[in-house]
Amino acid sequence: MCLPKMPYYRFVVMMVAFFCLMSIFSNYTIMNFAFICMKNDMQGAVQGENGTLQSIYDYTSTEKAQLIWAVAIGTIIGTIPYNWMYVRYGAKNVFLSAGIISLIATSCTPFAAANNYILLLVIRLIQGIAYAADFAVIGIICVKWAPHDEVAFFVSVLTVFSPFATVITTAVTGFVSLNNLLGLKIN
| pTM (two decimals) | 0.83
Q: What pLDDT, on the 0 to 100 scale, is given for residue 33?
A: 73
3-state secondary structure 28-46: HHHHHHHHHHHCCCCCCCE
Q: What pLDDT, on the 0 to 100 scale, is given for residue 140?
A: 93
User: What b/e readout covers 139-161, taking b as 16+ CB neighbours within 10 angstroms?
Assistant: ebbbeebbeeeeeeebeebbeeb
Q: In the predicted model, what is the mean pLDDT of residues 146-156? A: 92
Q: In the predicted model, what is the mean pLDDT of residues 34-39? A: 66
Q: In the predicted model, what is the mean pLDDT of residues 172-186? A: 69
Distance CA 95, CA 108 (A): 20
Q: Is the pLDDT of residue 42 over 60?
A: no
Q: 53 and 42 in contact (C-beta within 8 Å)?
A: yes
Q: What pLDDT, on the 0 to 100 scale, is given for residue 49?
A: 72
Q: What is the pLDDT of residues 117-150, one digit of tens each?
A: 999 999 999 999 999 999 999 999 999 999 999 9
Listed by start position, the domains of the chain span: 30-38+62-178
Instruction: Say how many CA atoms lie within 13 Å of 9 toward its Cβ.
Output: 8
Q: 175 and 35 in contact (C-beta within 8 Å)?
A: no
Q: What pLDDT, on the 0 to 100 scale, is given for residue 38?
A: 66
Share of the chain above pLDDT 70, in %: 81
Q: What pLDDT, on the 0 to 100 scale, is given for residue 100?
A: 97
Least confident stretch, 84-98, 145-159, 172-186: 172-186
Q: Tell me how long the chain is.
A: 187
The band of 61, judged by pLDDT with boundaries at 50, 70 and 90, is confident
Q: Please tell me which residue, 48 or 167, carries the higher pLDDT value.
A: 167
